[in-house]
Amino acid sequence: MIDTTKSQILKAALIEFGSKGYELASTNRIAQEASVSKGIIFKHYKTKANLFFEVFQTSLSEFMNAYKALDFSHIVDPIEKMVAYVHWKGVYFANQSYAGAVLMEGFSSPPPELTEKMAQLMGETRELSLDSLFQSLDRSQLRSDITEEVFMKTLQIAVAGMQAVYIHKGITQAQLESMREENITFLTIIIRGMEKDHE
């Protein structure tokens, strides 16, 4: 019975936090949607922040499992792998919109009482970063004024910009696919801009 109750609460909380955000989410609406009393919610989670954290952790676990199941081994070019990952993430967040919204809020602007816990989780999710793909890029042609730090930061900003467009704007999978070549060209131009003159 407890597992069923917690499951109902988490399902209702995911929808509430995912659609309203932490600040505007109402535990009254969560209780009503889960068909439980507000007291039951606080018996299990103590605070609204703890409930948000539980929803966040569940969403992150599901995202990580989906990520670990990916197989991009057939894609040799690291730029194409980056684009494939960004596209996959865009599709995932479009299909799991409530979970996506909770994840974005949890990482970008968590409730103040959860800042420390979120920082710890950030460290545990390093594998979701594209840094491993960045490492496989050829650096032999970089200009002398482009340090490793500048190279990595520039790529991180470029990819973050792509993700902001695709994830936050709710672009469809068909739209993402139609932009694949455009994204590869975009990242190639960014990298070429840091290389020695090719002429």
d(CA 87, CA 186): 14
In this structure, the dihedral spanned by the alpha carbons of residues 96, 101, 107 and 109, taken in order and rounded to 10 degrees, is: 180
* In-domain check, residue 14: no
* In-domain check, residue 6: no
* In-domain check, residue 139: yes
* In-domain check, residue 29: no
* In-domain check, residue 123: yes
pLDDT tens digit string along 95-131?
Answer: 898 998 999 898 888 899 988 888 787 766 655 666 6
Domain that holds residue 114: 56-192
Domain count, the chain: 1
- What pLDDT is recorded for position 116? 86
| Among 13, 10, 24, residue whose Cα is nearest residue 109 | 24
* In-domain check, residue 164: yes
Q: How far is CA 5 from CA 55, 132, 191, in A?
A: 14, 41, 51
* In-domain check, residue 48: no
pTM: 0.78
Band of residue 15 on the pLDDT scale cut at 50, 70, 90: very high
* In-domain check, residue 185: yes
